[in-house]
Amino acid sequence: MREVRIRPSLSAVSIFFALLIRVGDYGSVWKLFRDMIQRGPCPNIFVYNVMILGFCRKWCVRTGESLLFLTRKYGCEPDVIAHNLLISAYCVRGWTSHALNWAHFMAEYGCEPSTATFVTFINALCKKGNIVEARKIFEEMQEMGVSPGTVTYNALMDGYVKAREIGEANMLYEEMRNMRVAPDGITFNILAAGNYKYGREDGNRFLRELSMMALIPNCSISEMSISGLCWAGRLDEALHLLKTMLEKGIPVSIIAINSLICAYSRAGLHEKAFEVYNIMTKFGLTPSASTSTSLLIGLTKVGKLQIGLDIFTGKMHQNGRT
């Protein structure tokens, strides 16, 4: 374009930058950047952000830092996105202290952090098991006038559950509702799975609220909920939960059903294990090999060899092996 004396527009150059970053041609990225500085058009903050993102993804965070400092040199003020890119890159690498330094640097230059900034820190600190510092960040964001949303609450709740502080997670949920922040399916997945896993009674309450709000959990919650009740020896409650979830159309995985069948079999309650199998087939779920094996062993022990063989043979026919 320059050879025919046509000056490229900033939008055209920005698109070209994004394409070069996407294909990983960083040599051409620098060449194009130098050309813009020398001959124009002068890069805007979008161009800088695209470059910072690209170098951070390449694990060249220091280069990303240098680019942010260059923005002011060439008359462009870095925005919250530019700072968030560097903060996120440091947090992903586990360098939380470096990320905090950038947050302070950001504040010194009058760039206010966004909700994404705080969520990045909370996730990083929870991942490192530093739930106390994560809570401090959560409180600081409110002091700065940034209201936590559903994503922020979910991040901290997940941290509490992973730290086995289920009571704190439940209290945070109540705080969330009092602040009129609407929970989503992820909220209930975190809380119900955590409460079931660690033997708390609140798991059923969260599933009821989930159902009332017409939010459908994923299959992982059925695994955690039913398995959690089995671990706690509450097999009949697990069976009741399985029936409720199936009747309400909530996804239930084969893993969850297997865990209940195996639990009944280990407890010597083979009739109950067979009942779970019947419920499973009634709702059109296909038994796995481990389900059939558990039932076969259990039914053989109580003298119902023929039923066990029928299940086994049916499974064999289903897989095309007669």
CATH number of the domain within which 242 lies: 1.25.40
121, part of any domain: no
Following DSSP, what letter does each residue of 21-45 receive, concatenated?
Answer: HHHT-HHHHHHHHHHHHHHSPPP-H
What CATH number does residue 1 fall under?
1.25.40.10
278, part of any domain: yes
> What is the residue whose two structure tokens read 């609220």?
209
164, part of any domain: no
Residue type, 222: S
pLDDT surpassing 80 at residue 212: no
Rounded-to-integer distance, Cα 143 and Cα 187, Å: 24
Rounded-to-integer distance, Cα 59 and Cα 62, Å: 9
205, part of any domain: no
Residue type, 321: R
CB 172 within 8 A of CB 156: yes
126, part of any domain: no
CB 250 within 8 A of CB 216: yes
Cβ count near 5 (within 10 Å): 6
User: What's the domain range around 312?
Assistant: 219-322
Q: Which of 108, 134, 168 is the last residue of a domain?
A: 108
pTM above 0.85, yes or no: no
Q: Does a cis peptide bond (omega within 30 degrees of 0) precede residue 217?
A: no
pLDDT tens figures, 80-133:
999 999 999 999 888 888 898 888 888 888 888 999 999 999 999 999 999 999
80, part of any domain: yes
Residue type, 70: L
pLDDT surpassing 70 at residue 4: no
12, part of any domain: yes
Mean pLDDT of all residues belonging to the chain: 80
How many domains is the chain partitioned into structurally?
2
Choose between 278 and 310: higher pLDDT: 278
Alpha helices in the chain (DSSP H): 10-23, 26-39, 45-57, 61-73, 80-92, 96-108, 115-127, 131-143, 150-162, 166-178, 185-197, 203-212, 219-231, 235-247, 254-266, 270-282, 289-301, 305-318
319, part of any domain: yes
pLDDT tens figures, 40-92:
788 888 888 988 988 888 888 898 899 998 888 888 889 999 999 999 999 98
The answer for 81, left when phi > 0, alpha when psi is -120 to 50, beta otherwise, is alpha
Mean pLDDT across 255-280: 83
Rounded-to-integer distance, Cα 206 and Cα 57, Å: 38
Q: What pLDDT does 157 receive?
A: 94
Eight-state DSSP code of residue 287: P
Rounded-to-integer distance, Cα 125 and Cα 128, Å: 5
Q: Which of 86, 108, 130 is the last residue of a domain?
A: 108
Rounded-to-integer distance, Cα 155 and Cα 126, Å: 8
Q: What pLDDT does 316 receive?
A: 39
Following DSSP, what letter does each residue of 81-126 receive, concatenated?
Answer: HHHHHHHHHHHHTT-HHHHHHHHHHHHHTT----HHHHHHHHHHHH
